[in-house]
Amino acid sequence: MKHLKVDPIKEGTVIDHIPANRGLQVLSIIKPDNKAVVTMGINFSSKKYGRKDILKIEDRELTASEVNSIALVAPNANVIIIRNFEVVSKTAVQIPDIIKNSARCGNPKCVTNAEESSTRFTTVSRSPVRLRCDYCERTFHIDELKVR
């Protein structure tokens, strides 16, 4: 690609290197309000990964909890914060050892589903992403969990 497919933004957040076709899932984690200016690219060229998705949200920075949820579905993503057209930080997301409330347990009989209560997982592996529910002790591939 000779040039970027999506123009720079003045203020906001860019989430780059989302795995191809995971952009919509990341968008649903961020839940932009209905005034938010968002640009999403799906299946864009990536030197590093072949294909990638990318998301830009103007005038918005993410919470730590949102970044943790994004890490689960896009473990190689970078979160880039832009102020006045300048990159002020670029951080690789990281799956923490303990994940609180970012995902629902995939076991319908787990107590955390019965009570719609808080959840807690321990990271078993990061590539592929596999998490163990601290309540029912079952281990799941990330695609078996609903990330929120």
Q: Which residues contribute to the site for a second copy (CB under 8 A)?
A: 3-7, 20-21, 24, 32, 34-44
Cβ distance to a second copy smaller for residue 2 or 109: 2
Q: Minimum Å distance from CB 5 to a second copy?
A: 5
Cβ distance to a second copy smaller for residue 4 or 124: 4
Q: Minimum Å distance from CB 18 to a second copy?
A: 13
Residue 65: exposed, middle, or buried by beta-carbon count in 10 A (0-12, 13-18, 19+)? middle
Cβ distance to a second copy smaller for residue 39 or 113: 39
Q: Minimum Å distance from CB 34 to a second copy?
A: 5
Residues whose CB is less than 8 angstroms from the CB of residue 131 and which lie 6 or more positions away in sequence, other chains included = 72, 99, 103, 121, 122, 123, 124, 139, 140, 142, 145
Cβ distance to a second copy smaller for residue 37 or 98: 37
d(CA 76, CA 84): 26
Does residue 8 contact residue 37 with C-beta atoms inside 8 Å? Answer: no
